[in-house]
Amino acid sequence: MIGLLEDVGIEAMTATASQNRVPVEAVLKDLMPPKKARRLARGTGIDALSLAPPDVCTSDLCFESASRLLAEIDRDEIGALVFISQTADYLSPATSYCLQKRLGLVQDILAFDVNLGCSGFCYGIFLAGTLLPALGGRKVLLLCGDTSSRNASPDASAMLSIAGDAGAAAIVAPQTDNALYYHMESFGEMADYLLVARGGSRAPRIADENGLALHEGNYVAMDGMGVMNFTIDEVPRNIHALLDFARVDCAVLDRVLLHQANAMMVRTLASKIGVAEDKAPFMSSQIGNTSSASIPVCLAEMARTGQYAGGKFLLSGFGVGMSIASLLMDFSQVRVLGTCDL
């Protein structure tokens, strides 16, 4: 689906990573020699990973980000809380209700979770925009994050070498004369390209006396070639269709912010889209692929390092589902706080 939402904007946003940054070669020390691990890291552009300790959940990372934003506004202004993650605290209740309590938000509020990965932030901005007309001028607090490292099998070097943990927050609000163009697509026929087969009602996870057994269904299984072909073939087409719909030439874009899968993928997509590499930054070399938080992490890292400036931005998240969500919007008035550590 492709279209336009009017009078929608982001007021502020930020991201939180773990202060525990582990070099990729240390993560892979039991699976391959250091030299091979360093060569793998050079290929992905990810040198270290943000790995949350066992007592820190996705909600804790999102809570930290949300607290920074809410410190500067009246919390009664929030009319909806949307939490997007594949690593919720519990099967039930929804993590959004736990965060509503922790953040001290009012009871007169809409709260719900969305189970989505790498396209999650862009989906969330779109969902928030659709909610705004029903909120009577109030705003949406969007929380996106994942502790992706916990879904990676201990013997899967490809996933272990890129999976990082982070949580992000954004305040989406009514903004007169600010347009949000969107292009959302779903590819359910490719659902098994990224799949955690166990843990739901169809098949419970298998555990042994030591905890979670090393069973492939307990962790994410990735069809690497299928994911790559999907991304290279479908994402540029999706983005070009959005630009055509909005009648925008990619040359006028100030930034193209792509899901931070790895540096090679970002460079490849930038080339196929037709934008210079410096307009499509990869900012996750010390954090990793953080799934639904990856685009906010990119922005927060740009802010932290003094590289952020507003303008006309295109955002595109793509992955599990399979799904693609691309947005075109003005970031001229968006305040981005630099990444903080928890």
Q: Which domain holds residue 332?
A: 1-200+214-342
Q: Is residue 209 part of a domain?
A: no
Q: Is residue 305 part of a domain?
A: yes
**pLDDT given for residue 128 in this prediction:** 98
Between CA 208 and CA 274 the distance in angstroms is 50
* Residues 78 and 316 sit within 8 Å (Cβ to Cβ): no
The letter for the amino acid at 175 is: Q
The two tokens of residue 290 are: 């953080």
Q: Is residue 26 part of a domain?
A: yes
**pLDDT given for residue 94 in this prediction:** 95
pLDDT < 50: residue spans in the chain? none
Between CA 263 and CA 167 the distance in angstroms is 20
**pLDDT given for residue 155 in this prediction:** 81
Between CA 114 and CA 120 the distance in angstroms is 8
Tens digit of each residue's pLDDT (9 = 90 or more) over 183-230: 999 998 988 887 776 777 777 777 666 665 666 677 777 777 888 899
The pTM for the full model equals 0.94
CA 183 to chain centre: 17
Tens digit of each residue's pLDDT (9 = 90 or more) over 39-70: 999 999 999 999 999 999 999 999 999 999 99
**pLDDT given for residue 213 in this prediction:** 62
Q: Is residue 307 part of a domain?
A: yes
Between CA 229 and CA 244 the distance in angstroms is 23
- Cross-strand pairs, 22: 49
Domain total in the chain: 1
Q: Is residue 206 part of a domain?
A: no
**pLDDT given for residue 82 in this prediction:** 98
The two tokens of residue 254 are: 């100030």
CATH number at residue 307: 3.40.47.10
* Residues 258 and 273 sit within 8 Å (Cβ to Cβ): no
**pLDDT given for residue 194 in this prediction:** 76
